[in-house]
Amino acid sequence: MSTLQPYVLFNGTCEAAFHFYQSVFGGSFEGTMRFKDVPQQHALPPGEEEKIMHIALPVGAGSVLMGSDVPAHMGAVTAGDNFQISISAQSKAEADRLYQGLSSGGNASMPMADAFWGAYFGMLTDRFGIHWMVSYDPNYTGSGQ
């Protein structure tokens, strides 16, 4: 069965926000990746290197709150459009099925493909304007699977 996880986006305050959430919910981060850790095709603008590319905090049984700073070149997010829903599939076939279904009539912004962190991953906006991240990671052992 697939699992849904909220993915919250920030304008440079992701790290501070997640330390706050950790102080409220407790627990330990499953991982923190900064933009400087990402294989780059182009140089990052000054000040972007230390921003959070991905962070995950288990919250309760089976739930994970995830987040990222949005790079400046992608534009600022505002309250109400600063989240995505991440769905973790149990197989590549299920990930493809979910991606195809959710993107029908919407915008397939990042086709499903193998990502540098080891997952099979894609992004889309459905026909109702909801942003989705679909992934299958055979090595994932976190609370969400």
Provide the H-helix boundaries in the chain: 14-25, 92-103
Q: How confident is the prediction along the chain (145 residues), in pLDDT tens digits per residue?
A: 677 889 999 999 999 999 989 998 889 999 899 999 888 766 778 888 999 999 999 987 788 999 999 988 888 888 777 888 888 888 999 999 999 999 999 999 999 999 998 999 999 998 877 889 999 998 865 444 3
CATH of domain 3-36+50-136: 3.10.180.10
For the chain, what are the domain ranges? 3-36+50-136
Q: Cβ distance 99 to 107 under 8 Å? A: no
pTM: 0.70
